[in-house]
Structure 1
Amino acid sequence: MQHVFTVNGMSCGHCVKAITQAIRALDPNATVQVDLDDRRVEVDSEQPRVALADAIRDEGYTVLD
């Protein structure tokens, strides 16, 4: 299932890595694409949307939707 999040606080490659690792800790088979300029994180995962958003928040980022 495809999930798209708007995320504030991302600015660099470290952010991309942190978010990707957090999501893959929940779902090792997830595909993650992060667009820093558009503040967008696209996730293809079978995990519930709320669990994915919580994983991003746990890394210190603000998930707007």
Structure 2
Amino acid sequence: MSQVITVEGMTCGHCEQTVEEALRGVSGVTGATADREAKQASVDGDADVTILVQAVEDAGYTVHA
């Protein structure tokens, strides 16, 4: 299953990498990609969206699920 969340605050490639690593650290996530220009992150797997949101927010970004 694939989910897309809106992520505010990514300004560079390092930001994208930080968001991707935060998402990949969530149990049930099999893949994650972030796109700062689209302000989105795509997540593959069966993780609950609330846990994904919390992981990204803990990394310092604002999420609109």
Query: TM-score scaled to structure 2, two decimals?
Result: 0.86
How far apart in 1 are the matches of 2:42 and 2:29?
A: 14
| Identity of matched residues, % | 34
Aligned residues: CA RMSD: 1.5
Q: Which runs of 5+ in 1 are unaligned?
A: none
Aligned residues: 65
More strand by share: 2
8 Å contact 2:28–2:47 — kept in the other structure? Answer: no
Query: TM-score scaled to structure 1, two decimals?
Result: 0.86
Q: Which runs of 5+ in 2 are unaligned?
A: none
1:11 aligns with 2:6: no
Indicate the structure whose relative CO is greater, using CA pairs within 8 Å and at least 6 residues apart: 1
